[in-house]
Every structure is written in C-alpha cells, then in structure tokens.
C-alpha cells in the first residue's frame, strides 16, 4: 500500500493548505475528463481522492499517522468511490468546494470501480476449530486437518472456461466489470455504477463454460492441510492461514482460513505463558524432616529437594522446565506447590510416636476418649 502523503506529493509535516493545493493540482491533472480511457490516470485519480479524503480530515489524518493504512480496512482506492459518488466526502473540500465540484460533475464519470470489483468476487473466509493436547501446545505440533471448502475446479483450473476454450473480455461491460448509468440532475450528470452481472465484476467471461463447474471456476472440495501450531500457543488462540479459505470467483482472491485452537486440560499441569504449574503431595514427615521427591514435568521426571521444615503451600521453582515461550526465546519454568498430607488413620505405634512427640515438644493435648477425659502430658 502506497503512502498517502507520497501519493499527494507532500510530507507528514505539510499544512492542511499545502495538502489541499497539492490535491487540487493533481486532481485536475488526472481527472478522467481530461484523460479519457487512460487507465493509469483513472487509477491515479482514484488514489489521489482516497488519499485526500483521509488527509483532509483531522481525525482520519491522526489515525493514519498513528496506525498507517491498517487504520482503514480497505485503504486506498476503496474509500468514497464505490457504487457512485459519495456526497459526504465533499465536506472536506472547504472553500474551494465550488470549482472542484464543477470539475467532478462536468463529465460522465467521477471515480471508477474499486480494485476488488475489477478482480471479481473474492472467496469467503473459512474457520475450523481443533483440539490439541497440553504437551502439543507446550512443544508445538504439526497437525493435519481436513476441511471442506470451495476450491479451484480441477477441469478448468479456476478459469471457468471449458478445456480448449478461451477467456474473453466480458461483452456486457466491455471488461470494466461494472455497468454504468448516467442520470441528469440539477447539479449535472450523476453516474451510478453497479457490478456487472454477466462477469460478477471480473471483466472477463469464459468463451465456453467449463462443464464441471458451469463457469464458476470453483467447486466444493475436501482439503487436507498441514498446520504448524507454534510452541507455547494459548488456549483460545486463532491461527490465520492466508489464502486457504474459499477460492474466489474465476481466480479472484481467495479467502483466509482461521483455525481456532483449544488446548485440552491436563490432569497434572496447568500453564500460563511458558510457565507450568503442578501440585505435589508430601507426607507430614517429609515436610518436617525434608526429602528428595520425584516431580513429573513436561520434560520428564525431575528430582527435587524438599528442605526440612517445608510448609504447606510453599512453591518451588524448577528453572527451565516449563513450556516454550510463544514470544521470544527460551522456556518458562515449572512451579511446584507443596501440599502436606496428614495421615487420617494412625496405627497404635504411630499414635504412640506422635504422643511422644507431643511430650517432647511440651504440648499439652486434650484428648477425649470414652467417658474419661485424659490430658496427655499431665
Ligand atoms: Zn471448471
Ligand atoms: Zn461484465
């Protein structure tokens, strides 16, 4: 996409007046009335007008400076000149409105069809949802998917023409892709345009229609595609595959394919970005005395030391044992949250040991048993 300032031959710091002057000069030079049938001028005229439409509007100019062409879905060549003239756009012309207005309406045309209508009807976007495992999301995976979409006709390779026949200029619109009608009004002649039915705006038609697709150039197909899912992808992400949606009418632009990714739950792990989280149950005695335990990570089992006196809820980090990071290099970490399990049933011997422990710690435990209340340690 061309730079709008470049189109008008001005720069980012040009004043509104300078932009207006540059625009008027160019608009007159490339006006279709002066350049009948000159495709280059026609394109140029369209570009100039679209550029001026943006740069003459303070808000639009600010948006453009900030976001570039991305701030206007369609961009140059699509604004204000589809399906006839858009009167709202005249507001930007200011005090010189009158003479430009005259120039526009003196002839039989003002502005011409947008690019996409010249190229025919584009294909639709397609979407599909796939599920991948926790590990596949963490490490990345290549998935083969099967989609049903509108694809190129095998017989005519998308042209719509029967084998051996040619594609010719559309006789209904003489290749322009649009049908014009001119009305005379009090302000001059106004041209309205619509997409040509015969060629759907493509400007070309098959001399003899392809028998397989009846001239559409496309047919429903089942496609197998290999999709590379990047490591570190998040649940709910969407991957866009350009051009793998439905193909357009007679080789017009194809739509895109959107693949929505669902990451399945894992029984041990959760993940946030590159970091993986899990819980580890340990026995009370392990927490008190310390131990080394096996921790399951996505990279396999790792030995982790639990120091004596570890409390429940404490989190340990296994550096570099997480998933790949989607953005940037390296891996995240694996975080283990400790959960201390307390034995619910004790053997007689265990009970004695705990009671001994209580004595040793100087704890006075109130124990209720039968009819008697016994205080251990008294
Ligand atoms: Zn065909
Ligand atoms: Zn046509």
Nearest ligand to the C-alpha of residue 177?
2
Helix (H, G, I), strand (E, B) or coil at 2: coil
Nearest ligand to the C-alpha of residue 165?
1
How far away, in angstroms, is 179 Cα from ligand 2 center?
8
When pLDDT is averaged across residues 195-202 and rounded to a whole number, the result is 84
How far away, in angstroms, is 350 Cα from ligand 1 center?
83
**Which range scores top for mean pLDDT: 58-62, 91-95, 216-220, 265-269?**
265-269
How far away, in angstroms, is 214 Cα from ligand 1 center?
6
How far away, in angstroms, is 73 Cα from ligand 2 center?
26
CATH superfamily of 126-263: Urease metallochaperone UreE, N-terminal domain (2.60.260.20)
Nearest ligand to the C-alpha of residue 198?
2
How far away, in angstroms, is 160 Cα from ligand 2 center?
14
User: How far, in Å, CA of 257 to CA of 259, rounded?
Assistant: 6
pLDDT score of 70 more than 70: no
How far away, in angstroms, is 255 Cα from ligand 2 center?
22
> Which regions of the chain carry the CATH code 1.10.287.110?
4-112
pLDDT score of 313 more than 90: yes
Q: What is the DSSP string of 192-237?
A: EEEE-TTTTTSSEEESSB-TTTTTSSEEEEEEEEEEEEPTTPPTT-
Nearest ligand to the C-alpha of residue 196?
2
At 367 the pLDDT is 65
- Higher model confidence: residue 65 or residue 34? 65
How far away, in angstroms, is 198 Cα from ligand 1 center?
17
How far away, in angstroms, is 32 Cα from ligand 2 center?
21
**Which range scores top for mean pLDDT: 156-170, 180-194, 308-322, 354-368?**
308-322
pLDDT score of 156 more than 70: yes
pLDDT score of 135 more than 90: yes
At 186 the pLDDT is 79
**Interhelix angle 16-29/39-55, nearest 10 degrees:** 160
When pLDDT is averaged across residues 286-306 and rounded to a whole number, the result is 96
At 115 the pLDDT is 33
How far away, in angstroms, is 195 Cα from ligand 1 center?
22
pLDDT tens sequence across 317-340: 999 999 998 877 789 999 999 999
User: How far, in Å, CA of 185 to CA of 109, rounded?
Assistant: 14
Nearest ligand to the C-alpha of residue 218?
1
At 114 the pLDDT is 30
How far away, in angstroms, is 291 Cα from ligand 2 center?
81
How far away, in angstroms, is 344 Cα from ligand 2 center?
83
> Which regions of the chain carry the CATH code 2.60.260.20?
126-263, 270-342
pLDDT confidence of 267, banded at 50, 70, 90? very high
When pLDDT is averaged across residues 3-30 and rounded to a whole number, the result is 85
Q: Which fold has domain 4-112?
A: Helix Hairpins (1.10.287)
pLDDT tens sequence across 343-371: 889 999 999 999 899 999 998 877 655 55
**Which of the four CATH numbers 3.90.1010.10, 2.60.260.20, 3.40.50.720, 1.10.8.60 does domain 270-342 have?**
2.60.260.20
**Which range scores top for mean pLDDT: 11-25, 59-73, 81-95, 112-126?**
11-25
**What are the tokens at 123?**
């294909």
How far away, in angstroms, is 7 Cα from ligand 1 center?
40
At 188 the pLDDT is 78
**What are the tokens at 202?**
């493509």
How far away, in angstroms, is 203 Cα from ligand 2 center?
5
pLDDT tens sequence across 95-134: 333 333 333 332 333 333 333 333 567 889 999 999 999 9
At 60 the pLDDT is 82
How far away, in angstroms, is 178 Cα from ligand 2 center?
6
How far away, in angstroms, is 149 Cα from ligand 1 center?
15
pLDDT tens sequence across 82-101: 333 333 333 333 333 333 33
Residues whose CB is less than 8 angstroms from the CB of residue 68 and which lie 6 or more positions away in sequence, other chains included: 1
Query: Among 22-31, 80-89, 133-142, which is the least confidently predicted range?
Result: 80-89
User: How far, in Å, CA of 364 to CA of 348, rounded?
Assistant: 19
How far away, in angstroms, is 118 Cα from ligand 2 center?
9
pLDDT tens sequence across 249-262: 887 889 999 999 99
Percentage of residues of the chain with pLDDT beyond 70: 80
Nearest ligand to the C-alpha of residue 251?
1
How far away, in angstroms, is 247 Cα from ligand 1 center?
12
Q: Is there a contact between 40 and 80 (Cβ–Cβ < 8 Å)?
A: no
Nearest ligand to the C-alpha of residue 202?
2
């Amino acid at each position: 996409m061309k730079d709008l300032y470049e189109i008008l031959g001005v720069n980012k710091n040009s004043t509104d007046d300078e932009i207006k002057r540059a625009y008027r000069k160019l608009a007159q030079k490339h006006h279709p009335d002066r350049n009948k049938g000159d495709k280059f001028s026609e394109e140029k005229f369209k570009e100039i007008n679209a550029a001026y439409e943006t740069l003459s509007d303070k808000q639009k100019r600010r948006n453009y400076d900030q976001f570039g062409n991305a701030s206007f879905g369609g961009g140059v060549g699509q604004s204000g000149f589809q399906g006839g003239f858009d009167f709202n756009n005249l507001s930007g012309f200011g005090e010189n409105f009158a003479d430009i207005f005259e120039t526009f309406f003196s002839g039989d045309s003002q502005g011409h069809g947008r690019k996409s209508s010249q190229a025919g009807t584009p294909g639709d976007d397609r979407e599909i949802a796939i599920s991948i495992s926790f590990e596949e999301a963490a490490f990345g995976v290549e998935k083969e998917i099967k989609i049903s979409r509108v694809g190129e006709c095998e017989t005519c390779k998308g042209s719509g023409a029967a084998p051996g026949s040619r594609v010719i200029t559309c006789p209904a619109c003489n290749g322009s892709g649009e049908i014009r009608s001119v009305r005379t009004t009090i302000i001059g002649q106004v041209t309205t345009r619509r997409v040509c039915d015969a060629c759907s705006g493509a400007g070309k038609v098959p001399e003899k229609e392809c028998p397989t697709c009846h001239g559409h150039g496309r047919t429903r197909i089942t496609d197998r595609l290999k999709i590379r899912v990047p490591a570190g992808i998040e649940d709910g992400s969407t991957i866009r595959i350009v051009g793998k949606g439905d193909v357009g009418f007679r080789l017009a632009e194809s739509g895109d394919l959107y693949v929505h990714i669902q990451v399945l739950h894992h029984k041990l792990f959760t993940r946030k970005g590159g970091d993986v989280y899990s819980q580890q149950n340990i026995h009370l005695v392990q927490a008190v005395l310390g131990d080394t335990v096996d921790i399951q990570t996505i990279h396999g089992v790792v030995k982790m030391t639990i120091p004596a006196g570890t409390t429940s809820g404490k989190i340990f980090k296994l550096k570099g044992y997480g998933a790949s990071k989607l953005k940037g290099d390296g891996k995240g970490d694996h975080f283990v949250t400790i959960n201390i399990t307390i034995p619910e049933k004790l053997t007689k011997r265990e009970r004695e040991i705990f009671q001994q422990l209580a004595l040793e710690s100087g704890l006075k435990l109130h124990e209720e048993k039968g009819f008697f209340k016994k205080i251990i340690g008294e």
